[in-house]
Amino acid sequence: METNTHLFSKLTVKSVELRNRIGIPPMCQYSCQDGLLNDWHLGHYGLRAAGGFGLIIIEATAVCPEGRITPGDAGIWSDAHIEPLARTVLFIESQGAVPGIQIAHAGRKASAALPWKGGAHLDNANGGWNIVAPSPIAFGGDLGKVPHELTIEEITRIQADFVAGARRALQAGCKWLEIHSAHGYLSHEFLSPLSNKRTDRYGGSFENRIRFLLETTQAIRAVWPEHLPFTIRLSCTDWVDGGWDLEQTVALCRILRLEGVDLIDCSTGGGVATANIPVGPNFQVSFADRVRRDCGLLTAAVGLITEPAQADQIIRSGQADMVLIGRESLRDPNWPLRAARSLGCPEQMPPPPQYARVW
């Protein structure tokens, strides 16, 4: 169904207003030392805020050091992380974009080399560390380390780390919180029966596999302000028979809505190395559409959305409430400014005054 809502319509979520429906999804820059943001992040995110994006979700930010994918990941496990994060957050906001953050734990995919150094698991002697997961099963391939099976006490500790991370994100001025529960990282590892073989209350049945995320959501909800958007990224399917799938996603999202979650960022995959994924334009949009219709939640669509008319159509047809532009925003930091011009509505997206005469 066509609606009057379009790519440049404002979107209000709780007390936060986005100037348009275009966001940047979290994308690791692998450029931190000790998890601290620096000038790379100020420039990278700042340029894209000036380029017109309504929402910028800062990359997967680890809630404890062992939860980093690589030694270069962002972190939020100490108060020392707040000030450098606040610097980037304030600049994003000064350019009219809403600053968000994704808080994360990489589970059995942690302790890896930087992508441009191969991305394989690092030995402890080479800068790596011991990894943890719901069950002691290696991801496989280059990520061959066998994770330690988390005890109940360790699970509780990580949940507390998520809560502390959310509090610090708030202190740093973030206005939008996303829990990373996708792509084969820790929270997704609990959800999927392929990576969660536990026999205690965190494994087995659907109710048990969603317990880690549900409890974490409830605990964060208690500290994250009611008036700010609270969101979760899910892999809506593992793309493998017997894995996590869309029906379980829908059942989970109905519960998450009752817990005060505002929006689901609908991604897929990452839990199984051998999955056969039908990658192509809009390949994940149907998941955002289904969750939006069946669960009464706002959704963000992501995945090979690159063209302005394509993005506009996703919003107009009501398949999602917003679109996230990943790799294409790395190629073009001014994607929203260009999109407004190619869609014939430049007045919707004025450039920063410093660039006024060239746009």
Which residues of the shown chain bind ligand FNR in the complex (CB under 6 A)? Answer: 25-28, 59-60, 102, 180, 182-183, 233, 267, 302-305, 325-328
Q: Report the partner that residue 269 touches, choosing among ligand FNR, ligand 536, none (CB closer than 5 to 8 A by kind).
A: ligand 536
Query: What is the CB-side half-sphere exposure of residue 164 using CA atoms within 13 A?
Result: 16
Residue 25 burial (CB < 10 Å; 0-12/13-18/19+)? buried
* CA 8 to each of CA 19, 47, 91, 97, 322: distance values in angstroms, whole numbers, following the listed order: 7, 19, 22, 13, 10
Q: Is residue 71 a contact point for ligand 536 (CB under 6 A)?
A: no
Decide if residue 266 touches ligand 536 (CB under 6 A).
no
Tell the smallest beta-carbon distance from residue 234 to ligand 536 (Å).
Answer: 11
Let me know the angle formed at the C-alpha of 58 by 53 and 64, rounded to the nearest 5 degrees: 170
> Which residue, 35 or 52, is less far from ligand 536 as judged by CB?
35
Q: Which stretch binds ligand 536 (CB under 6 A): 16-24, 164-172, 200-208, 262-270?
A: 262-270
> Among the options 30, 45, 185, 202, which is catalytic?
185
Sequence length of the chain is 359
Q: Which of residues 41-70 bind ligand 536 (CB under 6 A)?
A: 60, 69
179 strand-pairing partners: 103, 232
Q: Should residue 183 be labelled a site residue for ligand 536 when binding is judged by CB under 6 A?
A: yes
Nearest-approach distance from CB 265 to ligand 536, in angstroms: 11
* Active site annotation includes 30: no
CA distance 166 to 62: 11
- Binding segment toward ligand 536, per CB under 6 A, in 161-169, 213-221, 267-275, 330-338: 267-275
Beta bridge partners of 23: 55, 324
For 234, what's the count of Cα atoms within 13 Å in the CB-facing half-sphere?
31
114 vs 345 by CB, closer to ligand 536: 114
**Given 3-state DSSP classes, what are the helix, strand and coil percentages for the chain, each rounded to the nearest 5?**
40, 15, 45
Question: Could you tell which of ligand FNR, ligand 536, none binds residue 314, using a CB distance below 5 to 8 A set by kind?
Answer: none
Residue 90 binding partner per list ligand 536, ligand FNR, none, with a CB distance cut-off of 5 to 8 Å that depends on partner kind = none
Q: Which of 13, 28, 55, 311 binds ligand 536 (CB under 6 A)?
A: 28
Rule CB under 6 A: say whether 270 interacts with ligand 536: yes
Determine the size of the site formed for ligand 536 (CB under 6 A): 7
| Least distance in angstroms from the C-beta of 254 to ligand 536 | 24
Burial string for 38-71 (b: 16+ CB within 10 Å, else e) reads: eeebbebbbebbbbbbbbbbbbbbbbbbbbbbbb
* SS3 assignment, position 243: coil
DSSP for residue 109: G
Cα–Cα distance, 341 to 173 (Å, whole number): 32
Q: Is 260 left (phi over 0), alpha (psi -120 to 50) or beta?
A: left
C-beta closer to ligand FNR: residue 131 or 301: 301
CB of 324 to ligand FNR, least distance (A): 7
270 binds, among ligand FNR, ligand 536, none (CB under 5 to 8 A by kind): ligand 536
Residue 222 phi/psi, 5-degree rounding, is -70, -20
Nearer to ligand 536 by Cβ, of 74 and 340: the residue is: 74
Residues 6+ apart with CB under 8 A from 328: 305, 306, 335
**What does 18 bind: ligand 536, ligand FNR, none (CB cut-off 5 to 8 Å by kind)?**
none
Contacted entry of ligand 536, ligand FNR, none for residue 326, CB cut-off 5 to 8 Å set by kind? ligand FNR
Give catalytic residue positions: 185
Sites of contact with ligand 536 (CB under 6 A): 28, 60, 69, 183, 267, 269-270
